């Protein structure tokens, strides 16, 4: 059974070793990669993430800098600051921390970042390179998902691949990456909220990539409606993909990271632990414990796509530094 589990931690470790070697070579040539994160206002969750970014960069020899800007900054002043960073030869990569305060247009700021410094791969020009071929910086999570997939299934020519989820930042780019080879791509089907009979599609998939985060979305939506004083029924927090929806022997990549209650009481409130805190669990979109007995290979959550996404961010940062 263990050989069925795709170990994202081990894959990320190997990828980071390669990135560290490239970063060292760039530093020796006087072009040390320098990632600058732009944080507007204070957000505890973002602060946790930036701390993780800093440690990850340090581990591979990338210089990391956090630029804190006041929450009151105007759109125009923020755009001017981004342009200054674009012009700096010292800064080789830029990442915009989300969420931005409500008065700022996040998309307008994102597209102002120089595409060659856009280490998240979210600029329309980088997305265009993804669809038309060429380029070296692509969205991190899709890169991670496909890298893990290819680590166990390098030849997908003619296979049936089903992507569940069609977001701009995950589902659509994954489909585009899978279709990049003119002659050796799988046949790709993209499913979404309007798909009729999802199981019909997933059961024929040799390759199944799931990226919806549906259970967390349901939980957060339920909380918002409760806080607004609305009377609502408890949400369905069950797995989107059950074992009987998977073709025996299929390769399954679970991209979602859902942070949800371990269970709900009769009042629709999270079950509590011994300390009186909500018992929360981190799960994907796939019922891993049941699915691992059906799938040929499968990623766990956590420990699958997540750590590789960070590795792809570091790889993108080095790739960006090479273009400066």
Q: Which two three-digit tokens encode residue 112?
A: 């102002």
What is the model's pLDDT at position 46?
A: 77
Residue 247 counted as domain residue: yes
What CATH number corresponds to the domain at position 103?
3.40.50.10860
Q: Report how far apart the first and last C-alpha atoms of the chain are (Å, whole number).
A: 46
Q: Give the model's confidence band at 43: pLDDT under 50 very low, under 70 low, under 90 confident, else very high.
A: confident
| Helix (H/G/I), strand (E/B), else coil: 260 | strand
DSSP state of 192: -
| Contact assessment for residue 318 and residue 33, using Cβ atoms and an 8 Å cutoff | yes
Q: Which two three-digit tokens encode residue 232?
A: 């609502």
pLDDT average, residue stretch 282-290: 97
Residue 243 counted as domain residue: yes
Instruction: Give me the DSSP letters along 202-249.
Output: HTT-SEEEE---HHHHHHHHHHHHHHTT---PPP--S-SB-GGGS-TT
pTM score, whole prediction: 0.93
Q: Model confidence over 159-193: pLDDT tens digits?
A: 999 999 999 999 999 999 999 988 899 999 999 99
Residues 145 and 115 reside in one and the same domain: no
pLDDT average, residue stretch 214-227: 95
Q: Model confidence over 109-151: pLDDT tens digits?
A: 999 999 999 999 999 999 999 888 778 899 999 999 999 999 9
pLDDT average, residue stretch 6-26: 98
Which residue segment(s) compose the domain that 85 sits in? 29-121
Residue 19 counted as domain residue: no
Residues 151 and 60 reside in one and the same domain: no
Q: Give the model's confidence band at 286: pLDDT under 50 very low, under 70 low, under 90 confident, else very high.
A: very high
Vertex 181, ends 173 and 136: CA angle to 5°? 55
Residues 59 and 89 reside in one and the same domain: yes
DSSP state of 154: S
Q: Model confidence over 238-267: pLDDT tens digits?
A: 999 999 999 999 999 999 999 999 999 988
Residues 179 and 300 reside in one and the same domain: yes
Does residue 1 register a pLDDT over 60? no
pLDDT average, residue stretch 191-207: 97
Residue 22 counted as domain residue: no
Residues 38 and 81 reside in one and the same domain: yes
Residues 256 and 185 reside in one and the same domain: yes
The rounded mean pLDDT for the chain is 95
Residues 194 and 236 reside in one and the same domain: yes
What is the spatial distance between Cα 77 and Cα 91, in angstroms, rounded to a whole number? 19
Q: Model confidence over 52-103: pLDDT tens digits?
A: 999 999 999 999 999 999 999 999 999 999 999 999 999 999 999 998 999 9
How many structural domains comprise the chain? Answer: 2
Residues 142 and 49 reside in one and the same domain: no
Q: Comparing C-alpha atoms, which of 195, 216, 177 is closest to residue 301?
A: 216
Residues 177 and 256 reside in one and the same domain: yes
Residue 14 counted as domain residue: no
What is the model's pLDDT at position 207?
A: 98
CA 143 centroid distance within chain: 9
């Amino acid at each position: 059974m263990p050989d069925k589990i795709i170990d994202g931690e081990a894959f990320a470790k190997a990828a980071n070793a390669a990135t560290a070697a490239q970063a060292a070579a760039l530093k020796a040539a006087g072009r040390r990669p320098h990632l600058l994160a732009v944080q507007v206002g204070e957000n505890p969750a973002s602060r946790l993430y930036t701390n993780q970014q800093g440690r990850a960069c340090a581990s591979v020899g990338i210089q990391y800098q956090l630029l804190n800007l006041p929450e009151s900054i105007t759109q125009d002043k923020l755009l001017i600051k981004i342009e200054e960073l674009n012009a700096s030869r010292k800064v080789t990569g830029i990442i915009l921390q989300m969420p931005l305060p409500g008065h700022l247009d996040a998309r307008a700021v994102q597209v102002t970042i120089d595409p060659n410094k856009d280490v998240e791969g979210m600029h329309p020009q980088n997305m265009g390179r993804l669809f038309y071929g060429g380029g070296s910086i692509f969205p991190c999570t899709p890169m991670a998902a496909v890298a893990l997939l290819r680590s166990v299934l390098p030849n997908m020519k003619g296979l049936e691949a089903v992507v569940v989820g069609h977001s701009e930042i995950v589902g659509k780019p994954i489909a585009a990456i899978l279709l990049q080879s003119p002659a050796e791509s799988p046949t790709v089907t993209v499913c979404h909220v309007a798909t009729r009979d999802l199981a019909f599609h997933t059961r024929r998939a040799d390759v199944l990539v799931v990226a919806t985060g549906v259970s967390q979305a349901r939980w957060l939506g339920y909380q918002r409606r409760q806080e607004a004083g609305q009377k609502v029924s408890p949400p369905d927090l069950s797995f989107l993909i059950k074992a009987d929806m998977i073709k025996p022997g299929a390769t399954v990549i679970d991209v979602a990271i859902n942070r949800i209650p371990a269970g709900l009481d009769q009042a629709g409130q999270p079950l509590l632990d011994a300390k009186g805190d909500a018992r929360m669990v981190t799960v994907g979109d796939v019922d891993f414990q049941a699915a691992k007995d059906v799938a040929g290979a499968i990623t766990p959550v956590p420990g699958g796509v997540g750590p590789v996404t960070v590795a792809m961010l570091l790889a993108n940062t080095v790739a960006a530094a090479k273009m400066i």
